[in-house]
Amino acid sequence: MNVTVDGPEIAPALIDSIGAAIEGLQDEIVGSLGEAIRIRSINPSSLGEVYDDLVGAEGDVSRYLAGHYRQIGAEVELLAFEAGRENAVGVMRGTGNGRSLIFNGHIAVVPPGNLEAWSNDPFSGHVAEGRVWGRGAADMKAGVIAQTFAARVLHELGIELNGDLILEAVVGEERGEHKIGTTALIEHGFRADGAVVAEPTSVTGPLGVMPVSSGILGFRLSVPGKTTHAGMRGASFRAGGDGADIGVSAIDKGVYMFGAIRQLEDEWGITKRHPLYPPGFFSMLPGYITGGAGTSTTAAGLADHMDTVYSVWFPPGEEAQDVRDEIDGHIARAAAVDSWLREHPPTVDWHWEWPPGEIDSDHPLCATVLAAHAIGHVGTPMADGGQLGGAPYVAYPAWILKAGIPALLYGPGEPVHAHAADESVGIDELLAAVRTYALTAMSWCGYRAPGAARGAGS
């Protein structure tokens, strides 16, 4: 079966030789992932970490990958937009007249967290039970290594791409620092006709193809109260008491606002939908609450403040400002029906934004990756994978799309393992991703197989 997807055909024999080449490189692919994991490239600006202790390790991963890029004849650059934090770029120059493609992945990882929760050293990179283990295995050094080895396989088989293939390993993603990573590289001039970001996409099955990712907004809701002695609580709100003249518990009022926001969140299960997300996915998470009387940590007085930090997950197709306006309006309406909050309205401090990203599921880039997975895994356990889905996280396609470059997500690993203890990735998925990436580059960029006419498979 030859499959044409808005690009040249890839003959089954060529697909087989790509599979054989990956099999031959299996130990090296797995070993390289282990090596990348052993470089402790914790995002240095992670909360609770000491920046100066961590900065530099991302650059070490970049230098490690740059070595791989050089090995396959790529033009290599190490670019730091913040001292000690080099991104690696390797350009496999195409022979001409083909679409260009970016393979993008981040090399920063989140801190290991509670070491007691890990069965092994979080940075062991060891192999067991058919998986590679360690912080960053799934999120997302496996994806970066798979993209690198896809280029290596093409190089070893003498398959020349028509369009440029740009390999990018970027810093800072785990703290949203796209301005020194992905966005900086685009502004530096690394643009292409499409981009595949290798975040882990095995959600409902292996290796989902995700043309959409969620947006997130962060806000802090501050609800005011009025402090008085704890013994005045009854008089502050029971019938016959003096009410707000004496005191008001910010926690009572905060819990009321919590319920109001929860009501809107329930409504979103109906009003905020996207065909590639399960109902109810778009939500408002109250992630952190503080409150009390001044700085007291006792219950000796009525609380004068309650602050709740929310993360709001909203669907592609909606503007961040519209979502902010909707929530601001809802909070104001809820406050207006409470006599205290009407006079002392809660404040909403919007402090964070990451836009959603979306390309149509029938966009040629999406069709290319879907087809590359399908033709690459006929008759294998991965044949059921490669299904369309929505990413349950924010990711770099959003910023790449803002620069006018079509982008989607496809990568090895289950997001449920990301940021968790005992993070790991299946070797089967790692190798399957190498295969899909190689076929994606051939389909998208066009190619010439050894001894064949340009643009067609042998």
- Point out which residues bind Zn ion (CB under 5 A): 139-140, 199
Q: What's the closest the beta carbon of residue 198 comes to Zn ion, in angstroms?
A: 9
Backbone angles phi, psi at 214, to 5 degrees: -70, 160
Q: Which is nearer to Zn ion, 172 or 364 (CB)?
A: 172
Q: Which is nearer to Zn ion, 199 or 414 (CB)?
A: 199
The tokens for 233 are: 């609580």
Q: Which is nearer to Zn ion, 140 or 374 (CB)?
A: 140
Q: What is the DSSP code string of 251-282?
A: HHHHHHHHHHHHHHHHHHHHHS--TTS-TT-S
Q: Which is nearer to Zn ion, 84 or 392 (CB)?
A: 392
Q: What's the closest the beta carbon of residue 38 comes to Zn ion, in angstroms?
A: 18
Q: What's the closest the beta carbon of residue 104 comes to Zn ion, in angstroms?
A: 11
Residues whose CB is less than 8 angstroms from the CB of residue 418 and which lie 6 or more positions away in sequence, other chains included: 138, 139, 140, 200, 393
Residue 91: left if φ>0, alpha if ψ -120 to 50, beta else—which one? beta
Residue whose tokens read 């601001």: 328
Q: Which is nearer to Zn ion, 147 or 228 (CB)?
A: 147
- How many CB atoms within 10 Å of residue 191? 16
Q: What's the closest the beta carbon of residue 180 comes to Zn ion, in angstroms?
A: 16
Residues whose CB is less than 8 angstroms from the CB of residue 416 and which lie 6 or more positions away in sequence, other chains included: none
With H, G, I as helix, E, B as strand and everything else as coil, classify residue 118. Answer: coil
Q: What's the closest the beta carbon of residue 398 comes to Zn ion, in angstroms?
A: 13
Closest residue by Cα to residue 185 from 105, 99, 95, 68: 105
Closest residue by Cα to residue 347 from 248, 219, 260: 219
Q: Which is nearer to Zn ion, 22 or 33 (CB)?
A: 33
The tokens for 206 are: 């292996």
CA atoms in the 13 A half-sphere facing the CB of 285 = 10
Q: What's the closest the beta carbon of residue 231 comes to Zn ion, in angstroms?
A: 52
Q: Which is nearer to Zn ion, 136 or 316 (CB)?
A: 136
Q: What's the closest the beta carbon of residue 416 comes to Zn ion, in angstroms?
A: 13
Q: What's the closest the beta carbon of residue 210 comes to Zn ion, in angstroms?
A: 13
Let me know how long the chain is: 458
Q: Which residue is nearest to Zn ion (CB)?
A: 139
In whole angstroms, what is the distance from residue 225 CA to residue 207 CA?
A: 50
Backbone angles phi, psi at 260, to 5 degrees: -65, -40
With H, G, I as helix, E, B as strand and everything else as coil, classify residue 365. Answer: helix
Q: Which is nearer to Zn ion, 81 or 396 (CB)?
A: 396
In whole angstroms, what is the distance from residue 455 CA to residue 3 CA?
A: 14
Q: Which is nearer to Zn ion, 153 or 198 (CB)?
A: 198
The tokens for 156 are: 């070893």
Which residue type, as a one-letter code, is found at position 214?
Answer: S
Q: What's the closest the beta carbon of residue 278 comes to Zn ion, in angstroms?
A: 21
Calculate the CA dihedral of residues 30, 33, 34, 38 and round it to 10 degrees. 170
Q: Which is nearer to Zn ion, 87 or 236 (CB)?
A: 87
Q: What's the closest the beta carbon of residue 74 comes to Zn ion, in angstroms?
A: 23
Closest residue by Cα to residue 388 from 417, 415, 362: 362
CA angle 60, 66, 68 (to 5 degrees): 115
